[in-house]
Structure 1
Amino acid sequence: MSKVLNDKVLGGSFIIEDIDYSRIVSPEDFTEEQRMIAQTTEDFVETEIAPHDEAIEKLNYELTVQKLRKAGETGLLGADVPEAYGGLGLDKVSSTLISESMTKASAFALSAGAHVGIGTLPIVYFGTEAQKRKYLPDLASGEKLAAYCLTEPSSGSDAQGAKTTAMPTEDGKHYVLNGTKQFITNAGFADIFIVYAKVNGTDFSTFIVERTMPGVSIGPEEKKMGIKGSSTCPLILEDVMVPAENLLWEIGKGHLIAFNILNIGRFKLAAGTLGASKDAIELASKYANERTQFGRKISSFPLIGKKLAEMNVKTYALESMVYRTAGLFDEGLAEVDHAGDNVGLQAAKAIAEYQLECSINKVFGSEVLDFVADEGVQIHGGYGFIQEYRIERIYRDSRINRIFEGTNEINRLLIPGTLIKRAMKGELPLMQKAMALQSELMELVPGQPFEGTLEQETHLLGMAKKIFLMVGAQAVQKYQMKLEQEQEILSHLADIMISVFAAESALLRTRKLIAKSGEAKAATAVAMTQVFVHEEFAKIEGWAKEALSAMESGDMLRTQLSVLKKLTRKTPVDTIGLKRQIAAKVIEAEKYVV
């Protein structure tokens, strides 16, 4: 049973503990109200955005602002804002459904996402009562629009290397801000800017800056590869007098706000990649049923079916992961008292609990969408390279996601780094589990045959967790304090953790589905889970071998590889047959299927 605190699942505990499927949230659990919220969002995109798609893509500020205000009237901008401040105060599963369902709006979805997420949430979680009452009602309604300003020309992932300064005036009533922020989404039309600056050039802090303040100016639009319909400009601050009451939370706490809001941003990004992946599957499967070559529909060719099946399988794992994580956030944030004096501290702690899972969602989601979009273009053939076909835009727009919200490389370093820090603080029994594994590894016996549904996959997931502990313990023992310099090893450890979380999310969801609806109705989910777990397990074995080979040699390496071989024993499944079964369902439905 998973490690829990006050009956809450601890962040990162999935890699050392097992959890019962009853503890996770999956799409099959959505309430009627949540499904209506998703439908409302889809209807809004279809009626308000789709007819103006071309104009929005040409960066029509006026139209984008008009439609954002319309989204506010519909309630789509206030999901994460408490009711006391003019929002809807919805649960995270519901707001995640909005993020996912908005993605057919392409770049408009990014404009809306930046506003409701990284633009508004800093005030929701870290604002004073006065700040919340002043800004949140207008942000929830869309009357005012927000932007998040962290990146600078010389600092991206190294956020604390920022050069923007905030110097207090002698009377203490203002801070004078100077600096330039780069690549700011919504900058062209935003009214409110969440700006990070160093007080006295040293203390990294956060400020609410209004567009109308003297000294605020916006640079020219960047000419981008994709997401062309979203505004991306520099924000220039020249002797901007910001009232002292616009300091967000406390001096020197900017890094806590930045990192926790980025955690939410990473998670919301994953929800967006989920929606776009489903969209790409629908476009590709419909095209495959329409396109005829050699006298038959291309959907009838096994290699096209294989692509559609793999697109669907990876998206199933992503969907399982995203809503599992939304459920974790709902548990963690449920006890935050938005009217309390220490709401910032409460929120920071609740969000930080699952920072590791947020990074996993971000990396996995962005790479799944890149894969799905790429295969979607391939299925379209030459037409996939033509702008008239929407898959071309999904392909271009997808690429930014591996850079947004901390590059995937940075997130890969954060994942094992965060886990080790939690273990060092005594928050997770990682080292104890690793030590207990040592004696267990020497006594491993050949595996038994597995006959029940998903029994072997459950066993493989357990072995994958042991592989992580084995390789991770070896790395900590060998490199100790210098481990952070061994980025290739850390990246492999991160990839193992990502695969484990994705595979476990899919497996738990499918087990839950079987318990609820029976094996017959869960047949496609079972097939997808088998394919995903077996293919990810093969990758895990490869990463483990490469990491061990970098750390050891000679007899020690041979011993380690011998143990690894025991952990990776399995009976192969017919993935070709399973993918044909999945492909038939996708081709018949002409959309993502479960």
Structure 2
Amino acid sequence: MASNIAKGLGKGVELAEEVRDERSADNLFAGIFTGKPSLKKVFSDWPKPSAEEVAKRSKVMSDVANFLLNKVDIYSIDDSGSVPLEVFKDMAELGLYGLKAPKEFGGMELSNTSYTDVLSLLASWCSAPVIAVSAHNTIGCVFPVMYYGTDEQKSRLLPELIKWPTGFCLTEKDAGSDAYNIRECAVRVRDAVGNIVGYRLSYQKCYTTNGILTDHVPLAKNLAVVARIVSDPAEIEIEKDQRKFCFGLFIVPTDSEGFDIGLKNTFIGMRGIHNSNPTFDNVYVSASNLIGEKRLDWESKKGWGPREGSGIKIAFESLNTGRIAIAKGCVGASKQALNLTRWWANKRSQLGGPLADKELVRDKLIFAAANILAMEAMARYASICFDNGQDVRIEAAAVKIFASEKAWQIIDNLAQTRGGRFYETWQSLSRRELTPPDEILWTGARPNRIFEGANEILVQLMFREGTDKYIKAAMPFLSVKNLKDLFKPKGFGSRIAAFIKLTGYYLKTFASRSTVGTDTRLMTHLEFVDLMSSKLARKILAKSARYRDKLALKQLMLDRFSRIAISLGAMALTCSYAKQLDKENPGHDYSQLADIFCKATRRDVDKLFKTLDDNDDEYRWRVSKRLLDGNFDDFLLGGIIPMTEEHMRGPKE
């Protein structure tokens, strides 16, 4: 049963709770939330790939670099808003649609670590190919078939799926992060004796990447589609009990009758993305193309058909790897932004000398370098955990939040350093002088804070996953709405027992700490991580006891909790990764960058802790209600022409 905390976070999170992975999240970030970060484990040597993996990665990286230099014109793609069909064919010849697929089905079987290195390389040059490759390998048809398909489905589908890009259909007009609102229905089709032989899909999906080539002409031959399975379409509106919702994931050929890929969407940035809003009009899909777990309990207790019910779970798990992929893309784009900022700082002279001699500019450069190291450390750690079969829910969310926000700052700093030249389009500026793709990088960086789960949603989910141990143990107490209800006879024993457990967790955070031997310069930062994780756990327990079921409504507080955890995890991993790099590259002293990153991050953490208690959240909430009611409109809207729906472009609802 979904916890009260999940309910407080909204229907989408409540639905995620119903299908959430029950594996224990026992990696670094979970330990930070509970005050016991596994620093010794993190500071063991980073695993070395096998010789075979190194050789495969090296060849792919070399092939991709040559491909980008010789076949991918970033300016032409941005200008046309489209990737030439030949580029998609070139990527197929390079095997980029089968990077992670098993060798027995024709894939390269790269580790997630090597795979995301390829994504980082692609992203450093042009967003279009990295979007195509990532959308296909990470959240397209390959992932669900690889991890949830039957042997028959793998043998039948994978050899074809790795030859050409595929797409993923989850988002709808009213269903984004809140997947509870999915309205696409998959109506069961039965034979004469009542066996399910197929499904008929109807509705429209939004923002499907890789689906379209040109208007009404598909690029992808297959799409992974998440839909709500029903026996009668009327159930979509009639049935409101989400526990009875049955979601499935289907591999749908785009040449199916009743399917229309729609019109090509255009975007502010990422201009080469092939994205549309496909429509399904009674599209038939064979039951053999339903991907999911075999759950006899679902079939017997809920009356669902074979392999029905796994759609949302598979989608959410694929999004975990998608978040790591976004983070590595941010690493590549940020490295390019640093490269271009340094180039311009050395080239441009103002006020008596090059920009590179100005303190404000140098600070932008060192901010980029230190944070790129942190981004890479977090992304690599998340990939290693995934490769080891560990749960990566928290790690994936943490690195996606961190990398997307830091990359935006780094690339925006490039824009600021470039000055007015940045704001002139490359088409205009390149008529007069050499023009880097800074504008293209900038517009392409902004969506990363939205894709694969908006950061505002992910910080809430991070808190839920990071405090899972507390929630399970203390739910009878945390569910109490009023303290007077604590002493009601019914359930009194379980509530008191839960309170005692919560108190026990609190006291354990004062236990003696263990240290990790490393560079003396970094030791103080690790001690800080250790101590502050204990402080974080105590704060969470104290606030949980105070607010109980209302804690889920304190979104600003949960945001601070999660951002403290992200910062502490980033510090630990950056120190560890710098130590590893120093071992592999003597004399470079990457620990300097780690030290700079940690010193700045410590100040951020101190500020976040202070605002946990010293804030005006409730006051701002009350005043915002007056704002929404129009109380300040005489000033805030005075002197302007307020735009309304009447003035906006598009069909009127």
Instruction: Tell me the CA shift for residue 94 of structure 1.
Output: 1.0
Measure how far apart 1:287 and its partner are.
1.5
- Pick one of 498, 502, 527 that aligns with 1:459: 527
Deviation at 1:14, TM superposition (A): 4.8
1:206 to 233, 237, 249: 249
**Contact 1:53/1:105 (8 A) holds in 2:** no
**Separation in structure 1 between the aligned mates of residue 45 and residue 392 of structure 2, nearest angstrom:** 14
Deviates more, 1:372-381 or 1:104-113: 104-113
1:363 aligns with 2:428: no
**Post-superposition offset of 1:433:** 8.0
Question: 1:194–1:207: 8 Å Cα contact kept in structure 2?
Answer: yes
User: 1:297 corresponds to which residue?
Assistant: 354
> Which residue number in structure 2 is paired with residue 285 of structure 1?
342
2:607 to 542, 553, 559: 542
User: SS at 1:173's partner residue?
Assistant: strand
Q: Give the whole-Å Cα distance in 1 for the aligned partners of 2:504 and 2:45.
A: 23
List aligned pairs for 1:166-315, cutoff 5 A: 166-171=186-191, 172-188=196-212, 189-200=219-230, 201=236, 202-249=245-292, 250-315=307-372
Cα deviation, 1:89-141, whole Å, max 9, x if unaligned, reads 11111111111111112222212211121112122112222322232222323
Of 527, 531, 546 in structure 1, the residue corresponding to residue 596 of structure 2 is: 531
How big is the shift at 1:494? 0.7
Deviation at 1:477, TM superposition (A): 1.4
2:111 equivalent to 1:111: no
Task: Decide whether aligned partners of structure 1 residues 27 and 315 sit closer, same or farther in structure 2, where only a CA change above 3 A counts.
Answer: farther
RMSD of Structure 2 on Structure 1 (CA): 2.8
The aligned amino acid for 2:31 is S
Larger Rg: 2
Q: Does 1:134 align with 2:151?
A: no
Amino acid corresponding to residue 285 of structure 2 in structure 1:
V
Separation in 2 of the partners of 1:116 and 1:274? 19
Deviations 1:226-265 (CA, angstroms, capped at 9, x unpaired): 1111112101000101111111112111121011011111
Distance 1:331-1:239 versus aligned 2 partners, 3 A rule: same
The one-letter code matched in structure 1 to 2:331 is L
8 Å contact kept, 2:99–2:110: yes
Distance 2:406 2:129 in 1: 21
Match of 2:507 among 430, 436, 439: 436
Task: After superposition, give the CA deviation of every residue in 1:261-302 in whole Å (9 maximum; x if it has no partner).
Answer: 111111111111111100111111111111122342211212
Pick the aligned partner of 2:30 from 12, 26, 37.
12
Q: 1:22 to 1:531 in 2, by over 3 A?
A: closer
1:150 to 142, 148, 170: 170
SS at match of 1:299: helix
Whether contact under 8 Å (1:475, 1:483) holds in the other structure is: yes
Corresponding residue of 1:414: 461
CA contact (8 A) 1:499 1:536 kept: yes
Preserved CA contact (<8 Å) 1:387 1:393 = no
Q: Does 1:98 align with 2:118?
A: yes
CA distance in 2: counterparts of 1:147 and 1:433, whole angstroms: 48
Q: Distance in 2 between matches of 1:383 and 1:135?
A: 49
Asked if 1 retains the 8 angstrom alpha-carbon contact of 2:32 and 2:534, the reply is: no
Alignment partner of 1:23 is 2:44? yes
Match of 1:44 in 2: 67
- Indicate the residue corresponding to 2:649 in structure 1: none
Decide whether aligned partners of structure 1 residues 24 and 369 sit closer, same or farther in structure 2, where only a CA change above 3 A counts.
farther
Provide the C-alpha distance between the structure 2 equivalents of 1:504 and 1:477, rounded to a whole number of angstroms. 29
- Find the counterpart in structure 2 of residue 474 from structure 1: 542
Write the letter of the residue equivalent to 2:594. Answer: T
The yes-or-no answer on 1:493 pairing with 2:566 is no
| CA shift in 2, pair 1:284/1:552, >3 Å | closer
Match of 1:569 in 2: none
The 1:371/1:431 distance shift into structure 2, 3 A limit, reads farther
CA separation in 2, counterparts of 1:535 and 1:223? 38
Q: Distance in 2 between matches of 1:159 and 1:207?
A: 16
Query: 1:547-586 maps to which residues of 2 (within 5 A)?
Result: 547-549=612-614
d(CA) in 2 for partners of 1:43, 1:264: 26
**Which residue in 2 is equivalent to 1:59?**
81
Equivalent residue, structure 2, for 1:373: 411
Calculate the TM-score normalised by the size of structure 1.
0.80
Could you list the per-position Cα deviations for residues 378-409 of structure 1 after superposition, in whole angstroms to 9, with x for gaps in the alignment? 11111112232301111101111111001000
Q: Deviations over 1:517-546 (max 9, x none)?
A: 55xx243x2221122112111111111111
Question: Does the residue aligned with 1:153 lie in a helix, a strand or coil?
Answer: coil
| 1:169 Cα offset (Å) | 1.6
Q: What SS does structure 1 have at the residue aligned with 2:39?
A: coil
Distance in structure 1 (CA, Å) of the matches to 2:519 and 2:284: 70
Letter in 1 for 2:201: L
1:404 lines up with 2:451 in the alignment: yes
**Amino acid in structure 2 at the alignment position of 1:468:** L
* 8 A Cα contact 1:359 1:411, kept in partner: yes
Tell me the SS of whatever aligns to 1:118: coil
8 A contact 2:172–2:204 mirrored in 1? yes
TM-score, structure 2 as length reference: 0.73
